[in-house]
Amino acid sequence: MDDVGAGYSRLSTVVNERKSVESVAKNAHEMLEAYDEAIVTSGGQFLGVVTVQKMLTTLAQVQVEMAKGTNPLTGIPGNVALEKEIETRLRRGKPFCMLYADLDNFKVYNDVYGFKDGDLVILLLGRIMTWAISRHGHSGDFLAHIGGDDFVAMVNPEKAERICQAVTRCFKRLILNCYHAQDRARGWIMGKGRDGREQQFPLVSVSIGIVDCMAPCSLQALGEKAAQIKGYAKTLPGNVYVRDRRGNKECTQAA
């Protein structure tokens, strides 16, 4: 699936995974109740050892967060709440902006530093966006974590760029704390690309697409446009946000 398709799928599809979580927890309990610990692997690689109790407790926590409609990692509202918010705003017919944020070079960071540190980077972006919206936005603004490293916000059009400016500048500064001193100093890390070859990758950055909804539009059209603008922002280097007004793209990079 291309970037636009994947982006729209995340924006417009509500995924209810409660039954699958319950099934995993039940099966895990049945298969592993005789063991104190379980070995965790991914792609044939050893990741670590976790107790069965810890695994079941974590699955239960995920189930609780899903029931609340929030993302299990960040506690920020997820897909269900986002779809309701978009539908409500479209019915009102008042202008608003959608911000679609996504991390760049995040897969390589996960591969090199591990998923635990990767989760901390996602938490960092979530906290920065929460802070920026609270500081520079309006009380009615809305933030959702739709999965992985993707975040979507609904904000006042007049505040959209100020919020994005705060997010990109703050993330550019704080992401340095997520790297070892050597990687931080040289500004890149060595990792494997999708072709499996070792190469240099820039530090993780954030790209944000801004879509103005000034007239009645459908959820599908809004989702597709947001994914397109975010995809375009990701083709640009560094921490950037791109605003699309009636086909005219305006790009700003974090100073």
pLDDT, position 7: 53
pLDDT, position 40: 73
Would you list the DSSP string of 181-202? Answer: HHHHHHTEEEEE-TTS-EEEEE
Q: Which amino acid is at 72?
A: P
Please give the Cα distance from 24 to 91 (Å, whole number). Answer: 38
pLDDT, position 28: 55
pLDDT, position 206: 98
Please give the Cα distance from 24 to 29 (Å, whole number). Answer: 8
pLDDT, position 196: 86
Report the predicted TM-score, pTM, of the whole model to 2 decimal places: 0.73
pLDDT, position 125: 98
Of 206, 195, 191, 49, nearest in space to 110 by CA: 191
For the chain, domains (ranges, CATH) are 3-7+76-253 (3.30.70.270), 18-68 (no CATH)
pLDDT, position 24: 52
Largest CA distance in the chain: 62
Contact between 235 and 209 under an 8 Å Cβ cutoff? The reply is no
Mean pLDDT in order along the chain per 10 residues (255 residues): 51 44 53 64 68 67 58 94 91 91 96 96 98 96 96 96 98 98 96 90 97 81 89 94 68 58
